[in-house]
Structure 1
Amino acid sequence: MEVGFIGLGNVGGKLAGSLLRNGISLTVSDLKPDLVVDFTARGAQVAESTAALMRDCDVVITCLPSPAASAAVMNEMLPEVRPGKIWLEMSTTDEAEIRRLAALVEEKGGTAVDCPVSGGCHRADTGNISIFAGCDRATFEQVLPLLTRLGRRVLHTGPVGTASTLKVMTNYLATANLLTCCEALVTMKAAGMDLATTYEAMKISSGTSFVHETESQLILNGSRDVSFTMDLILKDIGLFQEIAERNDVPLELSPMVIDIMKDGQKRYGERANTDDIIRRLEEATGLSILADGFPAELVDDEPEEPGYEVFPPGAERPVAAE
């Protein structure tokens, strides 16, 4: 199987690296030449254009920063789509937009899957990230062997668009959790608690979470380098709010989360790391939320394992998966 990959940024570069590490024949494309050079040094081929990538590969994966970027790339590739071609959209995007683009691909005889990832850059780097896949069951079974080389846990979510819907929901939850972790850490500091002890109390209690066990460490170290920026998270939580509005759900916390992150972006820059949001409370209180013994960057210390499909409770498992 010849695989093409477009978008070698923080997440895409690590996903593409997992393909190379697992012996997949890979051709890459990115607007930043230095990223492409790095991959050629590791054994990847370079696409002469995105259209050529679709022409020459069986599967083309995109992992791009916005729905507009994905649409622009697909418009370039669309003339080369034909029966047998598969497009895997691993960007975090709008479910209505992925359905629109998927329809264009299908009109040309190709197949589209929306399959965003979740779990952080450090897990993308080790192949231990989780993947949602939206497509029909037959297509899912066709691409599952490839997805299990990219990630550990793979969930078939339903038709095209369902994976993207769930993905922006998870990013909303992660952002809301980040804000509550920031409030907890600053409040405990103000109350005179040791922050390393506070971190451990949160970790071993009912108050723990994936966000706390990862991003709180970066906050306490002071690096705050989570490799995810405010412009991207505002895109994602904005998409979640749009889903709620389209379905007449009167959310209360979501607009507040958006307003807080917008204020953080205004203060610290469009491309500031999302964990910089704690600075709002540091500045308001005059407190420094730092502690010794925490890492400057996240490293996945779990060994890489073969990926596998996961199933919702009560789901009927296909015979092939038993």
Structure 2
Amino acid sequence: MAIGFIGLGNLGKAITQRLTEMGEEVIVYNRNKDKIKDLPYTIASSPKALIEECETVFMCLFDSLAVNEILSMENGILSANLKSKTIIDLTTNHYETVLNFHYAVNDKGGDYLESPVFGSVAPALQGLVTIVTAGKEEVFNACKPLLEKIGKEIFFLKEPSSASKMKLINNLCLGSFMATIAECTALGEACNIDKAKLLEILGVGGGQSLVLKAKTQKLIDEDFSAHFSNDAINKDLHCLQDLAYSLKRPLYTAAVPKELFSKMKMDGKGEEDFSSVYQLFK
């Protein structure tokens, strides 16, 4: 049976391409129809029509507001009979709002797996992303073979919202690493060190990381076409602050990266790749 997929942004397109290459038939829905009219997939007329045709539907959307719209809109997912249906939500959701999605889908007889993706376009195309899932364990076990077609590392955390919290914590590392690498790059250039050589040395020294490996060429070429946008990391770091506030805990190292990416968004660079924060330091 075909797999449904909702949300064909940068990451969503990469994952649907991967699913197709792994032999899955994919039917898609996107709120902006113009963005998918040239893609080689059958296009459903609505989320309801999509889930009526597919037993399993992925969602890969920008935020919880978008997920709520897909669920609750006219002819949305919740307007369908969800018995024996599974929603695998790859979105990075707000850790509180995602609980509502669990309840809403489960109350309609369906199953909801909160499954945020760790990784961006390049690893997604190769099936190398990490996926952390929360929900019913038996549903996770049934879906794991499908998840393994798009992810290399798959983790299960039973408690609803724990996967979303883990994704936000991970993105504190991501945003902090990127900001530090960007500042190091600009500082090295100010010292008249060749940028490519500087990044090569950082890559075997203190800067060695998945972030540097993924973004070295973007920094050299100053090609900031989005794999993971400033808007997205900014949103995630704001959600992380909400999480820390709810726990009555300070966040020391998260504050500066959040404001750096807020500045990029304010400067009209929200849709650029988050490696473009380098421009602030340069």
User: Would you say same fold, with TM above 0.5?
Assistant: yes
For residues 71-220 of structure 1, the aligned pairs below 5 Å read 71-75=68-72, 76-220=76-220
Deviations along 1:55-76, one digit per CA (max 9) or x if unpaired, are 2210111111121010010111
Counterpart amino acid of residue 273 in structure 2: N
- Rg (Cα) greater in structure: 1
For residues 218-233 of structure 1, the aligned pairs below 5 Å read 218-233=218-233
- 2:54 matched residue in structure 1: 57
For structure 2, the 5+ residue unaligned runs are none
Kindly report the root-mean-square deviation, in angstroms, between the aligned alpha carbons of the 2 structures. Answer: 1.6
Give the ranges of 4+ consecutive aligned residues of structure 1 lying more than 6 Å apart after TM superposition: none
Q: Do 2:168 and 2:236's aligned partners in 1 also have CA atoms closer than 8 Å?
A: yes
User: How far did 1:277 drift?
Assistant: 1.4
**Residue 96 of structure 2 aligns to a residue in which SS?**
helix
Residues of 2 paired with 1:247 and 1:156: CA distance?
Answer: 23
Q: Give the paired residue count.
A: 279
Q: Once structures 1 and 2 are overlaid, which stretch shifts more, 235-244 or 195-204?
A: 195-204
Are the structure 2 counterparts of residues 36 and 190 from structure 1 closer, same or farther at C-alpha, using a change threshold of 3 Å? Answer: closer
Residues of 2 paired with 1:103 and 1:255: CA distance?
Answer: 32
Q: TM-score, normalised by structure 2?
A: 0.93
Q: Do 2:238 and 2:258's aligned partners in 1 also have CA atoms closer than 8 Å?
A: yes
Q: TM-score, normalised by structure 1?
A: 0.82
User: How far did 1:102 drift?
Assistant: 1.0
Q: Do 1:171 and 1:237's aligned partners in 2 also have CA atoms closer than 8 Å?
A: yes
Deviations along 1:172-200, one digit per CA (max 9) or x if unpaired, are 21111111001111222222323222212
The sequence identity of aligned pairs, in percent, is: 23
**Residue 61 of structure 1 aligns to a residue in which SS?**
strand
Q: Do 1:121 and 1:227's aligned partners in 2 also have CA atoms closer than 8 Å?
A: yes
Are the structure 2 counterparts of residues 101 and 278 from structure 1 closer, same or farther at C-alpha, using a change threshold of 3 Å? Answer: same
Deviations along 1:254-305, one digit per CA (max 9) or x if unpaired, are 12221121122222433233222111121xxxxxxxxxxxxxxxxxxxxxxx
Counterpart amino acid of residue 47 in structure 1: A
Are the structure 2 counterparts of residues 192 and 36 from structure 1 closer, same or farther at C-alpha, using a change threshold of 3 Å? Answer: closer
Residues of 2 paired with 1:229 and 1:206: CA distance?
Answer: 25
Counterpart amino acid of residue 188 in structure 2: M
Residues of 1 paired with 2:87 and 2:95: CA distance?
Answer: 15
For residues 39-58 of structure 1, the aligned pairs below 5 Å read 39=39, 41=40, 44-58=41-55
**Residue 37 of structure 1 aligns to a residue in which SS?**
coil
Counterpart amino acid of residue 137 in structure 2: R
Residues of 1 paired with 2:265 and 2:46: CA distance?
Answer: 34
**Residue 228 of structure 2 aligns to a residue in which SS?**
coil
Q: Do 2:231 and 2:261's aligned partners in 1 also have CA atoms closer than 8 Å?
A: no
For structure 1, the 5+ residue unaligned runs are 283-322
Q: Do 2:89 and 2:114's aligned partners in 1 also have CA atoms closer than 8 Å?
A: yes
- 1:294 matched residue in structure 2: none
Deviations along 1:98-123, one digit per CA (max 9) or x if unpaired, are 11111011111111001111122111
